[in-house]
Amino acid sequence: MPEAFRARIAAVSVHLPSRYRTMDEIRTKIAGTGGYAPPPGLLEDLTGVRGVHVHEDGENASDLAVAAARKALAETELEIGDVDLLLFASTALDLIEPATSHLVAAKLGASCPVFDVKNACNSVLNAMEVATSFIESGRYRTVLIACGEPATLATRWHAPDRQALLRALPGYTASDAGAAMLLTAGPAGEHDPGVLALRFVSNSDAWEACTVAGGGSMHHLSVNDDHTTLRLNGDLRQGALDALPRILATAGRELEAVSSSAFVAFHQIAMPQYREMLDLLSLPEDRCMPAVAEHGNCAAASLPLQLVKARETDRIESGDLVTMIGLASGFSFGLALVRW
């Protein structure tokens, strides 16, 4: 009988740029464009976010991913030559062509196969699904997932009126980060660590609710702020509610395991959404982390960020059950159960 493999997380890391922009600095920059000037404290009141990380000038998505990947490799005894597959998983990209994974690989000195996995803020979670499938099938033993999010590039600075500001609100919590995860093949015994379950649901009818429309074939050369910045066009919460029956039908058993998880990481846009998620999915607040308040919305890097912060504060220990919940515009939902 063929040997059974389980994908285990050998390392997870995050890179946060040292530049930090407070909400008051964001308000001042918006007001300085000559458009609508939000009153002091409004952005903090609406989002519950104190500030965001900002990449250095000339620092690209691949650079943020490489910085995090080097940290992940340093956590283990592995070198880049031990990696069998490299996946770049992010909302961002360096170029339309080639895949950003090639730039990450070149900067790391990797010679393995590479490709991009892109599904908005669920990109890392979907990359975990891809990596896990390859590892469980025996095709690859070691997969490096790298993520680079210069998300502040999608921030809208000129808002002609209050309504435009509110439509652009998700962009004011957008924060820059790099993240990486190393998955390796291990034994699949009852108590062995690794990825135990993955479940995904989509409600694609809600794709227009939140967009960055420029750069694709619909608005290829547009420089209109409505196309080049993060924009709310509908109700993201409603997209989640519409998908809830399918979420419960698909991931009901796994969601029940949340109550026995030592830590629950879920994608966070702002503090009101954080509290809504606690209520919507009956999440245990004492085992969650409101990372968005200090670090902003790090897009696809937000789940690795929470795992790193939880590990640093000893909220995750060997043998613990950990839940990861992904939410992304589109609308898509993902859930992973992992034994640490």
The string of pLDDT tens digits covering residues 161-186 is 999 999 999 999 999 999 999 999 99
* Amino acid 245: pLDDT: 85
Inform me whether the pLDDT recorded for 324 exceeds 90: yes
Q: Which residues contact 58 (CB under 8 A, 6 or more apart)?
A: none
Structural domains of the chain, ranges and CATH numbers in brackets: 5-187 (3.40.47.10), 194-339 (3.40.47.10)
Please give the helix or strand (H or E) that residue 260 lies within, else none.
Answer: none
Average pLDDT over residues 198-208: 91
- pTM, full prediction: 0.95
Cα–Cα dist 177/53, whole Å: 7
User: How do residues 297-320 score in pLDDT, each as one tens digit?
Assistant: 999 999 999 999 999 999 999 999
Helix-, strand-, coil-residue percentages of the chain, each rounded to 5: 40, 25, 35
Higher pLDDT pick, 259 / 197 = 197
- Residues 87 and 116: beta-carbon distance below 8 Å: yes
Beta strands in 192-320 (DSSP E): 194-202, 210-211, 231-232, 263-266
User: How do residues 209-268 score in pLDDT, each as one tens digit?
Assistant: 888 888 889 988 888 887 888 888 887 777 777 878 888 888 788 888 888 999 999 999
Nearest to 153 by CA among 234, 58, 65, 222: 58
Helix (H, G, I), strand (E, B) or coil at 304: helix
DSSP classification of residue 97: S
Share of the chain above pLDDT 70, in %: 99
- Residues 82 and 142: beta-carbon distance below 8 Å: yes
Between 91-95, 207-211, 272-276, the lowest mean confidence (pLDDT) is in 207-211
* Amino acid 40: pLDDT: 95
Cα–Cα dist 36/59, whole Å: 30
| Distances 329 to 32, 144, 263 between C-alpha atoms, Å | 30, 25, 24
Inform me whether the pLDDT recorded for 3 exceeds 80: no
* Amino acid 225: pLDDT: 82
Average pLDDT over residues 310-338: 95
Share of the chain above pLDDT 90, in %: 80
User: How do residues 111-154 score in pLDDT, each as one tens digit?
Assistant: 999 999 999 999 999 999 999 999 999 999 999 999 999 999 99
CA angle, residues 85, 91, 97, in degrees to nearest 5: 65
- Confidence class for position 2, pLDDT limits 50, 70, 90: low
